[in-house]
Structure 1
C-alpha cells in the first residue's frame, strides 16, 4: 500500500495522467500555485481543477471557433461527482462541440432567463397583500407579520415600481432618514430592520444575488442618545394608577382591556385575541404561545380584580364575536390603540404613557411587594434567563399566583383610596420560606383585625 501511494505521488508530478479517484486523492497543489489542472490522458478535454482552498472540480476544456483561448465547462465537484460520472458528462460535452453547440449555452440561457425574471419582479409584486413575502411570513407563523408588512409598504412606497434587483442601499437609507427626521425614530428603525430581513429572504429565494444592507452598522450611540434610551418608558406612580383606573371605567371595552393590561402585564395586542370559550378558565386566563411575542404560553390567575374586569366585559359581548374585548366599531379584534390611549390620557389628566408602561407598572409593583426579577419575568410572560429556559420546566404557578395576589391587593388598596401602607408586602427573600410564610400569616391576621 505504501509503495502504491509513492507511485501515485510520482505519477502526479506531471499534469497529464489517467485520472482516477486514487490519483486525484494523492495529487497535491504545486507550491506557489492558486490553482492547477490535471489533464486526463485517455479522454481529451477532461481535467481536474485543483484550488488552494482544497476544492477539486471536474471540468471539460474545449476550444470554440471564433473565440480566442480555451473554454471551460464545469462538470461537478469531486468526489461527489465520481470518475464514471465525469467521463460520461465529458463524452456528452465533446459530442456537443463536434456538432457545433456550445456546452455552456444552456447555462448561459438559464442565467439570462433568471436575470429577466429579476428585472420584471418589482418590489410591489413581492410585498403586495397575499404576495410571496406575506405568504412566507404567515406560513412560518411569524407573530408580528402585520407590523413587518406595514413597515415595508409605508417605508418603501416610493420604490414600488422598481425591480427588486435595482433597489440600492442609498434608496433604502434615504427612506429611513426621511422617517427619522419626522421624529419617528422607532418607525425608522423598524423600516431598516424589516427591510434587511426582507432582503435576506429575497436572497434565499433567488430574487437577488446579495443583500444590499448586508454589513450595515448603525452609528455608535452618543452619550445623549444613551441617556435618552435609558429614560424610554416608565412605570406609573400610584396617583396616576388611581386616575387611569377610574378614567378607564368610562371607555367601554378598551377601558377594561386597559385594566387587564395593568393587572396581567400582557402586551397590548395579546388581550385583543382572547376569547370566552377558549381562553377564560375557572382559575386563570390563558394566552396562546402562537401569538405572544416570545412564543411562550402565558397565564394570569383569576383574582378578585380580574373577575371584576371579566364581569364588566360581559356587558360588551357580541353575538357575532367571542372576543372578550371586542372592537367597539366592528366587534372583531380591537386595534387603533394610539387614538384610544390619547383619549384615556386626556380623560385621566395624567402625563403621556403607553400601553407597555402598564406592563412596566405591574412589574414595579411586584418588586415593591418583594418578588424578585425572575418571578416577575414569569408573571408577565418573558423568557427565563440563561440555562434555566432549557432545564427548568416548572411553571411555578403557586408563587406566580402569590405575586399576582400581592400586586392586585396593592392596586385594590390604591383604587379604593385606602392607605397603601396597609397592604401586606412580602419580605425581599424567598416567599416560600416556611418561617417567612408564618410571619406573613400573622401580619394578615393583624391587619384583618385592625380592619374589623
Structure 2
C-alpha cells in the first residue's frame, strides 16, 4: 500500500501524531459542518475543523456513558504540547470522577462572586454620607409629611444662597434699580448636617460625630439637637441597609452619650400669656403700624396654630362658606379648624397684593418686600409690642402655648384643644373612636375666642357682615 503524500489531507479515520503540517492540511470534508482529527499521543485530544476553515483543539471523552466535549483553544494560540498537557489534565479530572464542565461552572461562579465582592468593596470605600443621605430621603419621603421632608433638605443645604425673604432696600436704591444685585444681599449659612456630607460613610465614626456636635453646640445648640436626632435616625436606617450597614464602623455612631451631653438638654419653655395680660397684649399688638403683622399675631394666639402654619396660610385655604381654615400640618399633612368670627374679621381687613407681574399673591399674610410674597416671622414687631405691654420673654411659639394654657380656664376637653392645635391624639379612644365634625369644634373654639376677647376688653358685633365688623376696645376701670 502506497504511503500518502505529504501534500494530501490527513486521514480522519486514523489516529495521527499531531504535527503542524498535518494541522495545516486538515480540511472539512464536503457536506459536513465540522470534522475531527484525533491525536495518537494524548487520548481524547482532537483538532476540530469547521466548514468555514476555523481550527481549534478540543477534548472529547466519556463520562457516565455520556460524551463530553470541551474546547481547549484556537490552534493559532495553543501549541501542540500545550494542548496535549491540557488534554491530560482533563483526563485526570475525569479519571477522578470530576466533570470538567461542572468545575468550570463553579470557577465562573467564584469569579463572578469575587467581582461582586470587589465592586461592593469599591462602593463602600467611595460612598459618602451625602450619597446615603440622598438615598435615605428618597426612600423615606413617601412616609413623611411635606414639612418633615423639607426640614431634612434644609439641614443639609450648602448655604451661600441670597436670602429671599424680608429684604428691604433703601428708597434711593429702588429708584435707581428695580431689584438689588444678589451680591448685595446677605446669604444663607450651611445646614448643620452639610459638613458631614462629604465624608466617607466609613469615616463617620463616633468621635467624628462628637466633634461635630461640639461645633454645633457653640453656635446653634437648639437646631443642633434637632439635627443630631435626625442624624441618629438616619444612621439607624443605614445600619439596616444591606450595603450601607457594611460601611459603618459601629451600629450607630450618633448614639453617643458625649454628643448628647455636649449639645445639652432643651430648656422647658414657660413663656405664656396670663389671663390678666391679655388686655395689654391685644392693645399693644393693635397699635403695630403694620396691619398684616398685627393680624398674624392675633391669629396665632386665637387659633393656637404654629407660627409657620399661620404664615403659610393661603387665600384658597380660607373657606368662607363652611367657615373653615385649612392648616398645613407637619403631623398629619393638613387639618381643618374653625374660622371663628373675630379671625374672619381680621382676615377681611387684610390687603390682597399682586406681584410685579400683576399676578395675585396667594398668601393671606403677604409682604411687599419679600420675593415670594409671604411674610416672614414677625419676631421683631412682637418683641417691641411685648416691651410696650411690659411682657418679657414671650415668643411667637409662646402664643401657641398661651392658647393651650388659657383654655384651662374654660375646662374645654383636651381632645378638642389638641385637634384644633394639631397635636397627635394621646389615647386610643381619642385616636380611634372620637370623631369631631367641624361644627362641634367651632362650638368650643368660638367659646374660647369670645372668652379671650372678653378678658382683653374687646367687643364687636358677631352677627354683622365680616367686612363690616367693628372692633370696639373696652377700657376697664382701674
**Same fold (TM > 0.5):** yes
Distance 1:205 1:351, change over 3 A: farther
Q: Structure 1 pair 165/313, CA: closer, same or farther in 2 (3 Å)?
A: farther
Q: Is the counterpart of residue 198 in structure 1 residue 234 in structure 2?
A: yes
Contact 2:272 2:399 in 1 (8 A): yes
Q: Could you say which residue in structure 1 is the equivalent of 2:255?
A: 216
Structure 2 match to 1:332: 372
Instruction: Choose from 350, 370, 384 the match for 1:346.
Output: 384
Q: Name whichever structure is richer in helix by fraction.
A: 1
- Match in the other structure for 1:292: 329
**Distance 1:92-1:403 versus aligned 2 partners, 3 A rule:** farther
The CA distance in 2 between the partners of 1:114 and 1:407, in whole Å, is 61
Q: 1:161 and 1:343 mapped to 2: Cα distance?
A: 40
> Quick one: distance in 1 between partners of 2:149 and 2:137?
7
Query: Counterparts of 1:24-423 in structure 2 under 5 Å?
Result: 95=101, 97-98=103-104, 101=107, 103-125=109-131, 127=133, 131-142=134-145, 143-153=147-157, 154-182=191-219, 184-203=220-239, 204=241, 206-209=243-246, 210=248, 212-213=251-252, 216=255, 218=257, 229=267, 231-238=268-275, 240-249=277-286, 250=288, 251-287=290-326, 291-295=328-332, 297-316=334-353, 319-330=359-370, 332=372, 334=374, 336-337=376-377, 340-349=378-387, 350-416=391-457
- In 2 relative to 1, CA 411–103 (structure 1 residues): closer, same or farther, beyond 3 Å? same
- In 2, distance between residues paired with 1:297 and 1:393? 18
Residue 341 of structure 1 and its aligned partner are, at CA, apart by 1.0
Equivalent residue number for residue 18 of structure 1 = none
Structure 2 unmatched ranges of 5 or more: 1-63, 65-96, 158-190, 460-478
SS in 2 for 1:155: coil
Q: CA deviation at 1:219?
A: 7.5
Change (3 A) 1:332 1:134: farther
Task: Select the structure of larger CA radius of gyration.
Answer: 2
Gap runs ≥5 in structure 1: 1-41, 43-90, 419-452
Correspondence for 1:435 = none
Counterpart CA distance in 2 for 1:393 and 1:276 is: 30
Q: How far has the Cα of 1:369 moved from its partner?
A: 1.6
Higher relative contact order (CA 8 A, sep 6+): 2
Question: Are the structure 2 counterparts of residues 159 and 141 from structure 1 closer, same or farther at C-alpha, using a change threshold of 3 Å?
Answer: closer
Alpha-carbon distance, 1:373 to partner: 2.0
Pick closer, same or farther for the CA change 1:400–1:156 going to 2, 3 Å: closer
C-alpha displacement of 1:126: 5.0
Q: Cα 1:221–1:155, aligned 2, differ >3 Å: closer, same or farther?
A: closer
SS in structure 2 of the partner of residue 199 of structure 1: helix
Query: What is the alpha-carbon distance in structure 2 between the residues aligned to residue 135 and residue 252 of structure 1?
Result: 41
Contact between 1:96 and 1:102, CA under 8 Å: does it hold in 2? no
- The alpha-carbon deviation at position 176 of structure 1 amounts to 1.4
User: Does the 8 Å CA contact 2:366/2:373 hold for their aligned counterparts?
Assistant: yes
Displacement, 1:357? 1.4
Q: Which residue of structure 2 aligns with residue 433 of structure 1?
A: none
Q: Give, in whole Å, the separation in 2 of the partners of 1:212 and 1:303.
A: 51
Task: Indicate how the Cα distance of structure 1 residues 197 and 240 shifts in structure 2: closer, same or farther if over 3 A, else same.
Answer: same
CA distance in 1, matches of 2:140, 2:128: 19
The answer to whether the 8 A contact 1:317-1:326 is kept is: no
Q: Hey, what's the Cα distance between the residues in 2 that align with 1:257 and 1:93?
A: 83
* CA deviation map 1:313-351 (0-9, x unaligned): 2455663422212344336374643xx313321233131
CA separation in 1, counterparts of 2:259 and 2:212? Answer: 20
TM (normalized to structure 1)? 0.60
| SS of the residue 1:287 aligns to | strand
Q: TM-score, normalised by structure 2?
A: 0.57
Alignment of 1:417-436 (within 5 A): none
Q: Distance in 1 between matches of 2:345 and 2:280?
A: 18
What SS does the corresponding residue of 2:107 show, helix, strand or coil?
coil
